[in-house]
Every structure is written in structure tokens, then in C-alpha cells.
Structure 1
Amino acid sequence: MLSFLGKQTRLCNGVSRREWLRLGGLGAFALSVDQLSKLQAAESSTIPSLHSFGKAKRCIVLFMLGGPPQLETWDPKPEAPKEIRGEFGSIATATPGYHVGELMPQTAKLTDKIAVLRAMSTNDNAHSSSGYWMLTGRPHSPKGQENALPGAPNNWPSLPAIVRHLKGDRTSLPGAVRLPEEIWNTGHIVWPGQDAGWLGDHADPWLITCDPNKADFRVPDIGLPVEISPERFSRRNALRDLMNDHFRAVESAPVKRWSNWQAKAMDLLRTKETQAAFAIEQEPSNVRDRYGRNRFGQSVLLARRLVEKGVSLVQVNWTRWEDDENITPAWDTHANNAERLKKALMPPMDQAYSALLEDLDQRGMLEDTLVVWMGEFGRSPKINARGGRDHWGHCFSVALSGGGIRGGVIHGQSDRQAGYPLDGRVEPQDLTATVYHCLGISPEATIKDPFGRPLAISTGKPISAIL
């Protein structure tokens, strides 16, 4: 399912935005793409001169829900006791002197294109609040709050939302997209920090709930239902134009807002380029195989297709798979850490991540496409009694590639147990500042809050060591 509008707020007449966007309501108030662009240009934001920094035209964020373990991925400690280092060894990489976990053989060949941050820290061991900080660059208040809900005071716009707000929608597709679903805790408790927050629904990164690996995959809501013929659609479009003429004098913000959404919906239904972006079945079989025939692998491939078509930022969430248990959902390996990593997690991750980097490189896109590999935190150095690793926000790893990032750079150092930073500690605001910088957006760019106050999009500094 394609979510145009984020939260299910309702119009003054009691009709939800989702209902309003159904084809029966598309006739009234819709604006043209040209009108929409003019409205976006009038948004209250200030962007300092971009000068020559920022090589990335687009960004793909791979978010590993649950917290991938630093010891089995980017920061192995082969000299540590077994209860720390775990069951797996380390392997040499394309970066001289640098080793990664042995379950990353394909990624190991590509580290000359990757910069690794080994001392990322939130000091927050709760999925929701640490995740909020990683997704927005702003710490959650309070820290350590599990099952935190969206809303004030923790409603700072997400990274994708700010990118969409500042860069706009360059095609009929939105400027930022999330897939294949939103991030949530057990009980489907949705994390804060995934939408536009107080910035407004116009900047919400669109949520596509889907499984691109299914044989009958298609994204609903971007094609005409079978009961709506092209001729009927044309009549409705003509009615929309008539209503636009009638309400031309209406200048209220709510009318403009609904009009924007409807214009985007109409564009999606009319534009063949949009339909083609989601036609993942057009990819050669060997390409689809290379990414992995699973929901994550095909979602990563779909992300590549979307940025090719003009989407500025796509966030691919590794969420729960159908057979995940509540004690070990996604990367949250509280039990059976080694088994989960070896069978369910590392092989498809290593395959899809390495495929994306190779694919972008072969297409000549890696130089101007930033790829960010991240989670909300890491895992505890010591393996627990259930053979798992627990939450650990004190020190973990993040990897960046392409788009102005220096490959083969290892920034930061953890202690002998990968538990605490020794050098090069960075916090999430520095990560978001780096992403903005690579995208040609100054971290000092301002956006206006609901009270009209200009606020810098980031309080961090770009990590110069990896640029």
C-alpha cells in the first residue's frame, strides 16, 4: 500500500485524507504540477549557498531494525574472549589491515568504497528513543524510553522529511520514500521520528507498504482500479478542472494543502514514468537474483530504481520477517545470536548491500549516490545466557559509501570489547549533518517551526575524516 499522507487526520467534515484521495474525490480542488511547484517554492525555509560541497544527488538509507551487532559486522575483536568475540572469526577486506566479520564475504571485497564509523554512540539502550535520535539527529526526551510514541515534544522532522522539504519533488514521484513498511515495536507500536513531525504533512516521506519479492507485486493506488476506465478518468479530470475554476479564489491553507495531495495523486495515475519506476519485473533475472529473492533484497533493488527516477532519498527498513519470533525480531538477537546471524540475517544483508554498491558502481551512479548502512544501536559485547546479545547504544558501527564519501576509511576506535569509544566518537547529529552535507545541503540551513522561528536542520558537524 502507498501512503500519501502519513497520519490519518481528518478533514473538518469528518472525511479522512485517505478517503478524500480515493478516486471518487479526486475531481475537486486538485492543482497542476506547475501550481504545486510554485507553492513548494514559497515554503518558509532558508538554504545557505551550497557552493561546491555535496556530490550526492540522491541517497539510499538501509536501516537495520533491532540493532546489528558491531562485533560480527564492522568491528570484530578476534583477540577477545569467546564470550565477547562470539562464534565467528574475521576476514581481510579490500582495505589493507582492516577486517570485518566472516559473515560479510561479499561486502569485504568492497570496503575500498566504504567508510566505517566504529564509534557511533547514543548511550541509549531503548529501540524507540535511540532510533528517534538516529532517524532525526535530535535526542529523544527522555532517553531510554521504550515504546515511545510519535508526537510532541519528540516530533522533530525525520532526515527524509527534511530532505524532501528542502529539495522538493522533482518528478511526479515524491522526494522521499520509505519501504517496505514503517518501523515498529512488538504490538505494532510505531516509532517516533519517521515522518515530518511539526514540519507538516507536505514533507512526509511516502510510505510504501509492500513486498517486491512477490510474484504479483504491484503498488496499489498508483494505477486505475479496474472499475475506472480511462474515459471515466478523463471525465473526472475534466470535472476537477471545472471545480478548480470555480474555487480559484479560495486561498486558505487547508484548501491548498488538500489540493497539493490531490495533484500528486493525479500525477501518479497519469504518469507512465511513475508506473515504470515500480515495474521491478522488468529487471533482468540475474540482477534480481544478485540482490536476493527476498523482501529486503528486492526492496533494495526497488530503491535503486526509485532514485534513478528522481527520488532524492529512499529509506529501506529491514523489519520483521514472517517467521521472526518476538524474542528475536529482525536484528534484535536477544537469543540465539549466532544462529540468527548465520542463517537469517547476515547472508541476505551481505548479498543485498554488496549488490547495491556494485550495481550503482557499474551504472556510474555510486559517485553521486550516498548509501548509508545503519541501525538504532548495536549489541552488548558480552553474550548472555540465552546465547544472544542485548541492546547497546554506547558504541556501535555505521557505514557510508558513495556520494562524496572517502572509501577505505575507518573512523573511530572502540575498546577491546567493542563496548565503548576510545577515539573518534560521533553522535547521530553528526551523521545527519554528514548526510545533508553530501547532498549539498548545509547543516546550518534553517527551517521555520510552527511559530515561525528559524531552526538549523542539524546541531552536528559533518564528519570531515570521511569526506
Structure 2
Amino acid sequence: MQAVPFAKDQSVGETLAGRYAQVDWRQVREAAMFQVLGGPKRLCNGVTRRDLLSVGGLSLCGVGAPVLFPALANAESTTAKNSEVTLPGFSRAKNVILLYLFGGPSQLDTLDLKPQAPIEIRGKFQSIDSTLPGLHLCEHLPNMAQVMDRVTVVRSLTHPWNFHGMQYATTGSPEGSVPLEETLGHSQHQPFLGSVVNYFDQQRHGPKPHGAIPDNLMLPFLLSSRRSAARYTAPSAMDLGSRFDPIWTEFRGEATRSAVRRSFGPPAEFRDPYLGVQRDCRFLIAAEADLPNDFSLDRLNRRRSLLDQLETLRRNLDQQAGRSVLDQKRELAFSLLDSKAIRAAFDLEQEPAKLRDEYGLTLFGQSTLQARRLVEAGCRFVTVVWDEFGQLNAGWDTHVDHYNRLTGELLPGLDLAFSALIRDLEARGMLDDTLVLVMNEMGRTPRFEGEGRGHWGRAYTNFFAGAGLKRGNIIGRTDAIGATVADRPLTAKDILATIYHLIGINPNSTLNDRLNRPVPLCHDGKVIPEMLA
């Protein structure tokens, strides 16, 4: 189903002009005295979260959008037809950790090696046995090899597109396209997986109390905000309303190692936190990321008073029923500032040094450990993105310097973080309730293209562990060179349908778009029975 762009209405324009003419924007500017954090998170209409959430600094969109377009800010779901859920595992997962490997890891160099293929296909790496019979891993994943008996591996994911597609992989969009991935507010965008979970949870149970851990967090920073090229579109809640957007963290820490990187231009040296970080690194959300060191709660309360003075202004703009999106954004901003629970959850120094080392003193390793701390503290859905840093074609997008990047950064970082997470969750009795997802948007070409492997959507691998999933399980098979799916072809929509099932959301549900039309949650995606315990 293709979404139709929101049609402009002359009467709406006239109403806008009339309402904004009544606003004394000097009052708003005087109140706009500091900036709220969370990183410059883009909303579905292209403005940043900081623009919208500035505490005491209510931007034009911040005041006007939720007031003048309540249908957009308060999208309603259309429940699926009542049907008995017969497959096992429904609602088994209490929380979710999504590890997203942006760029497209090579299936042939990780979990789908082809040792019998010609050298130009199989590459340099040797395979090693794992604790899962029949599964051989790359020699540079020795720690992961010891935990694969707890894991379900899907080696038959496929789609026809050869471009970066986090939107496609994590939203249930029926098709992929470059504009879909690169255009803010694209008409075909669908809500991010974590936002959908957050939305359904609030429909059932209401919002969390003041000061509680938010339920849809993303680490370590806004998607593609640390790369030199144009940004990809960050996941958002789209028509569910911006209050269900993921909350991004900010990373504070120093990289310990440098690397010379080349994309398609001259080489450049970067101090890359994915190679190593100082032990005093940390993650922040909310205004704490932008506040001076001497900022006090007294000052916070004075700012709150300034906001309260705008309440009359807001009511004059629109007398709408219930709590506005603006109210909820303000409440969230303040709760993030003064919550002891949130501050404690983000204190990595509470973890033993040995455990931090086991996760790896890298940005991905410490982000993964932080994700475990957050779900332990009550967060429902945490996403960690292994993102591009410093330049184009970073992350897992190994067009150039393929082997050096895999052996020096990517494989060791993943090996430590994933294996430590599985062991840590298991030791704490959390693995049976926590769904661990390792996802990406595509694989790499079977044949090398110059110094690396190119984009390849026809065959790629995801792997999963935890709540409601079979342990020690391999699904699907590719051909002799890892180019096409030979058995059990599956799509990202099938993966999403299975995830929703395990979380307790009927994957046949629909959500209304901005024109109040029902849009299928997973379109033609189906639950994968072989994944379920």
C-alpha cells in the first residue's frame, strides 16, 4: 500500500495564519533560554527533536504542530481481526535488545562461510566449529562460536535491492528505495519497530510514570550523524506521533585508537571509538547532554516556571481534549533531567572492570553493555547501532580495505560484545525474557569488487537469541557461493512479524496513516514457526 502525501487545504492555511497572528512570539523567544538534549534527533517532518523539545524554547513547530494537527500527533491503531494466537511464544519477550549492524556485513566472512568455494569467492578466512552442530563461523569469531548453541541463525534472508535499507529492515515497509532511506518524512515511511512496540504498550497500559526509564532508546548517537556524507533517515514513529520516536543518546568519551581510512577519495586518519574508547566513557540522554556542569535543580525549576507561563498561550491556541503532545514532551524532558533511576542506569562505572573488558572497550561493546543495563532497569526496547563514523563507507560497508577492517575492528568488536551479552544475560537469569536481535539490511557480493565486497540483497544472514526462540537452530540455506537463497527464502517482513509475535503484538494488526487509512504492520510478512521454541 502506497501512502498518499498529506494534501494541503486552503482552510487549514487560513486557520494557521489566523492562529499564528494571535501569538506574541516575543514571549516565546524570551522563554527560549536553553536547549534540551538527546542528540539532534530528526522528527518525521524534518525538524530536530531539540527544536521541538527545547525546554523553555518552544519552536514554531513545537507549539503549532501538535495543536493544529492533532490527527497527526495522535494516530490511532486499527486492531486486527480477533483470532486465536496458536503459535508458541506469543508475548514471551518482556524486553528487546536490537544490535543493528549498519552497512551490510558479509555473510561469506561471518556465519555463512563457503570453504569449498573458489578462493575468489570464499576469501582469506578459515572456518571454525561452533557449539551449534553444522554451523561454522569465521576464525575471527571464536567467542561467538562458544555461544551459538543458544542462538537461532537465519541464513536465507533475501530482497532485490542493493542499497542501505534500515527503514526497510526495521519498519515493515513493503518495498525499499533509495529515497525511502534518505528522505526525511518520506510518504512511504512506516513506524520503526521500537516505536510500534512503545505505541501498543501505551495503548494497553498507559504511559510510564514520571522519572521512569523511557521504553524506546537508541544508542550511541543519532543515525549517521558522525559520518562525513549526507545523513540517512533516522528511525521514527512517523504517523504514530513524535512522542513515540526513539530517544537517542549522546556519547561522551575519547577514542583510544586511530585508523587511516579510505572511501572513494584520498585517505584520512580518524580517531575511531569503534576501535577503542577510554574507560570513563558514558552515554547521556535528555538535557544533561547540553547542560553546564554547575546546572542545578533550582535553575531547572526556574525554567519550568517559564514554561508554565506559556500554558495560557497554548490554551489560547487550541482547546483540545486530553494531554497534548507538547505536555508529554515537556514532562519527558523534565523527568529525564531529575530522575535518579535514569542516572543510575547510565552509570557504566557501576559495572566491574572485568565485565566491561569482556564486552570490549569499544563504542559497540560499551553500547551493548549499556543496553543490558537499560533493559535491566526497565527499558522495554533498546537499539544499538554499529554506525558509520568519520566517513562514507565506514561501519560494515566494506567496499574498501575489506580484510583489514574486518580483522582489526569489525569481527573482534562483534565477537566480544555479542558473546558477552549472551553470557551476561544468561548469568543474570534475563535471557529467557530478553529478545536479542542482530539485524542488518543486506549482505555482500560473493565476488570481490576491487578492494572489497559490494552491496548484495539477494542473500544475507541475521541471528537471534532469547525469549521464545529455539536454541541451536539454523534456518535456510544459500547456494554454493552464497549468492542466492537455495532453501526457505524469507524477508525482513517475516522477521518483523516473528518479533511482534514474541513481543505480544498480533503481526496482522494495522495502524492508521495520516489520512486515517489502515496500513498493515508487516504487509505480507508471516511469523516463522521454525524460529519459535
Q: Tell me which interval the TM-score lies in, with the shorter structure as reference length.
A: 0.7 to 0.9
TM-score (norm 1): 0.86
The letter of the residue matching 1:231 is D
Is 1:350 paired with 2:415?
yes
Among residues 38, 41, 45, which one is paired with 2:77 in the alignment?
Answer: 45
Deviation, 1:344, is 1.5
Among residues 141, 145, 156, which one is paired with 1:108 in the alignment?
Answer: 145
The letter of the residue matching 2:242 is D
Measure, in 2, the Cα distance between the counterparts of 1:137 and 1:209.
27
Is 1:233 paired with 2:300?
yes
Aligned residue in 1 for 2:43: 7
Deviation, 1:377, is 0.4
Distance 1:109 1:414, change over 3 A: same
Measure, in 2, the Cα distance between the counterparts of 1:145 and 1:421.
27
Contact 2:55 2:307 survives alignment (8 Å) = no
Aligned residue in 1 for 2:233: 192
Deviation, 1:6, is 3.4
What is the identity percentage for the equivalent residue pairs of Structure 1 and Structure 2? 35
The letter of the residue matching 1:416 is A
Distance 1:347 1:455, change over 3 A: same
Contact 2:94 2:380 survives alignment (8 Å) = yes
Aligned residue in 2 for 1:180: 220
Contact 2:252 2:284 survives alignment (8 Å) = no
Measure, in 1, the Cα distance between the counterparts of 2:41 and 2:443.
32
SS at match of 1:59: strand
Contact 2:250 2:285 survives alignment (8 Å) = no
Contact 2:100 2:438 survives alignment (8 Å) = yes
Aligned residue in 2 for 1:419: 483
Distance 1:4 1:67, change over 3 A: closer
Partner deviation per Cα, 1:269-301 (whole Å, 9 max, x = no partner): 222101111111211111111111111110111
Among residues 186, 197, 202, which one is paired with 1:163 in the alignment?
Answer: 197
Greater shift, 343-352 or 158-167, is seen at 158-167
Among residues 384, 401, 405, which one is paired with 2:449 in the alignment?
Answer: 384
Deviation, 1:189, is 2.6
The letter of the residue matching 2:194 is P
Among residues 134, 146, 168, which one is paired with 1:133 in the alignment?
Answer: 168
The letter of the residue matching 1:18 is R
The letter of the residue matching 1:261 is K
Measure, in 2, the Cα distance between the counterparts of 1:148 and 1:232.
39
The letter of the residue matching 2:170 is L
Among residues 215, 219, 222, which one is paired with 2:284 in the alignment?
Answer: 219
Measure, in 1, the Cα distance between the counterparts of 2:43 and 2:195.
14
Aligned residue in 1 for 2:472: 408
The letter of the residue matching 2:199 is H
Partner deviation per Cα, 1:429-462 (whole Å, 9 max, x = no partner): 1011111111111101222211222333112111
Aligned residue in 2 for 1:462: 527
Contact 2:140 2:407 survives alignment (8 Å) = yes
Contact 2:156 2:490 survives alignment (8 Å) = yes
The letter of the residue matching 2:337 is L
Is 1:18 paired with 2:50?
yes
Contact 2:386 2:395 survives alignment (8 Å) = yes
Deviation, 1:160, is 1.6
Distance 1:8 1:188, change over 3 A: farther
Contact 2:181 2:233 survives alignment (8 Å) = no
Measure, in 1, the Cα distance between the counterparts of 2:46 and 2:487.
50
- For structure 1, which runs of at least 5 residues remain unmatched after alignment? 31-41
Is 1:452 paired with 2:520?
no
Contact 2:224 2:389 survives alignment (8 Å) = no
**Residues matched between the structures, number:** 443
Measure, in 2, the Cα distance between the counterparts of 1:59 and 1:17.
24
Distance 1:426 1:384, change over 3 A: same
Aligned residue in 1 for 2:506: 442
SS at match of 1:383: strand
Measure, in 2, the Cα distance between the counterparts of 1:295 and 1:405.
28
SS at match of 2:107: coil
Partner deviation per Cα, 1:389-429 (whole Å, 9 max, x = no partner): 11100000000110111011100010000110011110111
SS at match of 1:183: coil
The letter of the residue matching 1:87 is K
Greater shift, 397-406 or 213-222, is seen at 213-222
Deviation, 1:5, is 6.0
Aligned residue in 2 for 1:312: 380
Aligned residue in 1 for 2:440: 375
Is 1:151 paired with 2:185?
yes
Is 1:79 paired with 2:127?
no
Contact 1:124 1:144 survives alignment (8 Å) = no
SS at match of 1:381: strand
Distance 1:341 1:226, change over 3 A: closer
Is 1:70 paired with 2:134?
no
Contact 2:38 2:250 survives alignment (8 Å) = yes
SS at match of 2:447: coil
Measure, in 1, the Cα distance between the counterparts of 2:128 and 2:77.
47
Measure, in 1, the Cα distance between the counterparts of 2:49 and 2:102.
29
Distance 1:96 1:216, change over 3 A: closer
Measure, in 2, the Cα distance between the counterparts of 1:429 and 1:377.
14
Distance 1:292 1:5, change over 3 A: closer
Contact 2:251 2:281 survives alignment (8 Å) = no
SS at match of 2:439: strand
Alignment of 1:88-99 (within 5 A): 88-99=125-136
Contact 2:104 2:443 survives alignment (8 Å) = yes
Measure, in 2, the Cα distance between the counterparts of 1:243 and 1:145.
39
Deviation, 1:369, is 0.6
The letter of the residue matching 1:131 is M
Aligned residue in 1 for 2:365: 297
SS at match of 1:416: coil
Measure, in 1, the Cα distance between the counterparts of 2:444 and 2:322.
45
Among residues 272, 283, 286, which one is paired with 2:351 in the alignment?
Answer: 283
Aligned residue in 2 for 1:34: none
Deviation, 1:232, is 3.8
Contact 1:86 1:338 survives alignment (8 Å) = no
SS at match of 1:2: coil
SS at match of 2:251: coil
Deviation, 1:86, is 0.7
Greater shift, 207-216 or 79-88, is seen at 207-216
The letter of the residue matching 1:371 is V
Measure, in 2, the Cα distance between the counterparts of 1:217 and 1:47.
40
